[in-house]
Amino acid sequence: MGGYVVHFSDFPPQPVDLDLKSPVLLVVVDTEEEFNWSLPFDRGSVATRSIPAQDRVHEIYDRWGVVPTYVMDYPVATSPVAAHYLRALVDEGRAEFGTHCHPWVTPPHGEAVTVFNSFHGNLPVELEAAKIRASTDAVAQAFGQAPTVFKAGRYGLGPHTMDILKELGYTVDCSYVPHTSFSQEGGPSFYRTPVQPFFTDPDRALLEVPMTVGVCGVLGGVGRRMPAIFDHPLSRAGHLPGMANRLGLLERLRLSPEGFDLDSQIRVMTALFNQGIKVFTLTYHSPTLQPGNTPYVGNQEELTQFLATIEGVLSFFRDRLGGRFSTLKEIDRLARSQEASLA
């Protein structure tokens, strides 16, 4: 099953020089309905009871001065309880907001519910545009203003997604997952895409702020040049990534408390910092804050550890790397002001 390869035949990306004196850390939360991750996608799974559970992590964010961005999908934006909770955070200056799109629970429902179609970039362009527009309108209705930040559901960008976003007035996308491919499921491949923010088009209408993914270890340079070693079926069948990880030779790490312990996140932050990376993004899914919704937190003890890991990342980033906390909108402002000063 082939997927869409993200490439830049018309506009080779150039990382934006933000003129940052110190590294900055952003927090982006995939804010979505609860569903069983081990079962097929289901249009009927639209509950959003876990949204108020974000209170548990805001006790930490308030102490550290962190303002996360909640990118929310259609079920969340159209839930009165969920939308009211999130809007209160935004109105209090404790959060920012954007749009997320899970196509299987977003109208219009003109496609079969399949793994391939769960990447909205695989849908016919008219249907993808209609779903993103429905999500955008729902978020705008909930917050009284149009969203300008977007993150594709399942990172499922397609060949038409960026044009759709620009038409709808988005200025920031945060869907890229460097060093990673979802092509085995029919999704996009992000091999050899930038790890730093960059404009996606020559008009500089849309800024991309990728997820923080690093390839570390003694053979890290090899892994960055040949990222397919992590995802190729033969490599996985031979358990090569796992063996390389255990030997300390090669590992691909995300800056996320989901599936990555604090030591792993410290390693990827340190490695990228030493490579000169200045913009870091910590990501996770909103249902994880309520035990039993995702594979990462099954009980109260695991939730306590999950929250401690987030706080550990914040502490290391500020106190050891000398960083500060920021938001996608601030990075957008910095990027555009820097571009204007160079014009």
**pLDDT value at position 2?**
55
Residue 226 confidence class, pLDDT cut points 50, 70, 90: low
Of the listed ranges 38-42, 113-117, 239-243, 311-315, the least confidently predicted one is 239-243
Q: What is the pLDDT of residue 304?
A: 98
Question: DSSP secondary-structure letter at 179?
Answer: T
Whether the per-residue pLDDT at 340 is higher than 90: the answer is: no
Whether the per-residue pLDDT at 150 is higher than 90: the answer is yes
Cβ-based neighbour number of residue 335 at 10 Å: 22
What are the pLDDT digits (tens) for 63-100? 999 999 999 999 999 999 999 999 999 999 999 999 99
CATH topology for 24-212+255-342 is TIM Barrel (3.20.20)
Instruction: Return the higher-pLDDT residue of 292 and 248.
Output: 292
pLDDT recorded at residue 17: 85
Query: Rounded to an integer, what distance in angstroms lies between the CA atom of residue 198 and that of residue 177?
Result: 14
Q: What residues form DSSP beta bridges with 282? A: 27
Number of H helices, E strands in the chain: 12, 11
Quote the pLDDT of residue 9.
47
- According to DSSP, the residues that pair with 44 across neighbouring strands are none
Question: Residue 255: how many CA atoms within 13 Å on its side-chain side?
Answer: 31
Q: What phi, psi does 120 have (nearest 5°)?
A: -65, -15
Both tokens of 220, joined, read 């890290």
Confidence of residue 8 (pLDDT cuts 50, 70, 90): very low
> Which residue reads 């009980």 in tokens?
299
3-state SS, residue 280: strand
Cα atoms in the Cβ-side hemisphere of radius 13 Å centred on 233: 4
Q: Please tell me which residue, 288 or 234, carries the higher pLDDT value.
A: 288
- pTM for the model stands at 0.92
The token pair at 49 is 């009871």
- The predicted pLDDT at position 225 comes to 56
Q: What is the mean pLDDT of the chain?
A: 90
Q: Sorting pLDDT into bands at 50, 70 and 90, what band is 338?
A: confident
Give the least confident one: 15-24, 43-52, 241-250, 308-317. Answer: 241-250
Q: Where residue 239 falls among pLDDT bands split at 50, 70, 90?
A: very low
213 membership: H or E segment, kind and range: strand 213-216
Least confident of 132-146, 222-236, 261-275, 276-290: 222-236
Whether the CB-CB separation of 334 and 12 falls below 8 Å is answered with no
What is the pLDDT averaged over residues 242-267? 82
With b for 16 or more beta-carbon neighbours within 10 A and e for fewer, the 229-250 pattern comes to bbbbeeeeeeebbeebbeeebb
CA nearest to 174, candidates 80, 103, 255, 235:
255
Least confident among 21-35, 71-85, 227-241: 227-241
- Please answer whether residues 241 and 250 qualify as being in contact, where contact means their C-beta atoms are separated by less than 8 angstroms: yes
Q: What is the mean pLDDT of residues 225-236?
A: 58
pLDDT band at 329; cut points 50, 70, 90:
very high
Q: What are the residue boundaries of the structural domains of the chain, listed by start?
A: 24-212+255-342
Flag whether pLDDT at 4 surpasses 50.
yes
The two structure tokens encoding residue 299:
């009980």
Over the range 1-22, which residues count as b (16 or more CB within 10 Å of their CB) and which as e?
eebbebeeeeeebeebebeeee
pLDDT at 231: 65
d(CA 68, CA 174): 13
